[in-house]
Amino acid sequence: MEKTAVTRQNSDEIDRFLEGAASFADMMFGFLDGGDESQENLRDFDYENANYDEDPSQIDKNRVFWKAQEQLLQATLYRTTSLESRIRQATREALRELDLIGVQCACRRQVAGGCRKCLQREVSIRLQNVGFDCYICKSKWKNSPEIPAGEHTYLEVLDKSNPKKGEVRIVIELNFRGEFEMARANEDYSKLIARLPELFVGKTERLKALIKILCSAAKQCMKEKKMHLAPWRKHKYMQAKWLGTYQRTTPATLPVGFTDRPQKPKASMLTFDLLDNLPGLHYAAVAVVR
């Protein structure tokens, strides 16, 4: 399989996308880059010393915050391009097909029903078969004072059909909603996460905007609950999953005749009755040599 090291996405290009991605929510609340300064302060407000017990003004601010996040999330998700729509449709068809026929697990330790790695391989191959330049990507980052080390795998499609736009990178995350779910989330955060699709297909600019919205919401959620935000929930950690340095791999098809059915154990006639009478015995069968 071909592997290619890929550097971090150009942040200037992403920021230009955010600055130009105006919507009714952006104009009302000004939460995206270049927005109203007072609303920017609201988003980055330090709730560390805030009192949530009986402060009506704080309750109003929280209500405004969650309403703004909901508006921003909807506006960002609903903005889509024809390229994203075509890849999303092809990915859904691939997942439906795999749901019917099942996924062949080619891992050393096979998982019943297939595993995430093999599912990504099968989806990537099917997208390639319908004309998309699809790869499996693995990001990996080192430990730092702010976040722990980690790694993540996902899919991407590279589109070069428009010479003027150059190479366009589309990220495919098969479990997008699950990446942001929190066990101890409050009601507002849970409602926000429920709006996320399980399957995300979109440009890196759109993904960065969503990460910014969702990580801001996670931070606010923990502040309201007066709990510490886990380092793997922080904005920098979530960005590293899809927007950091990664390695690109071209998936290989399974060899002809491969089956995911477990092989039947072989035993000689000398050990047949012994194994039946002593199920706890796990000695290997002895072949009869004539």
DSSP string, 174-215: TTTGGGT--TT--HHHHHHHHTS-SSEEEEHHHHHHHHHHHH
- pLDDT, one tens digit for every residue, the chain (290 residues): 556 666 555 545 445 444 444 343 343 333 333 334 434 444 444 444 444 455 788 889 999 999 999 999 999 998 899 999 999 999 999 999 999 988 877 776 666 556 889 999 999 999 999 999 999 999 999 999 999 999 999 999 999 988 888 899 999 999 999 999 999 899 999 999 999 999 999 999 999 999 999 999 999 999 999 999 999 999 999 999 999 999 999 987 655 444 444 444 444 444 444 445 545 544 444 443 34
Question: What is the C-alpha to C-alpha distance for residues 157 and 16, in angstroms, rounded to an integer?
Answer: 21
- In this prediction, residue 162 carries a pLDDT of 87
Structure letter (DSSP) for residue 216: H
* Tokens, residue 175: 């479990």
Question: What is the C-alpha to C-alpha distance for residues 105 and 121, in angstroms, rounded to an integer?
Answer: 10
Q: Which residue has the tokens 């071209």?
A: 250
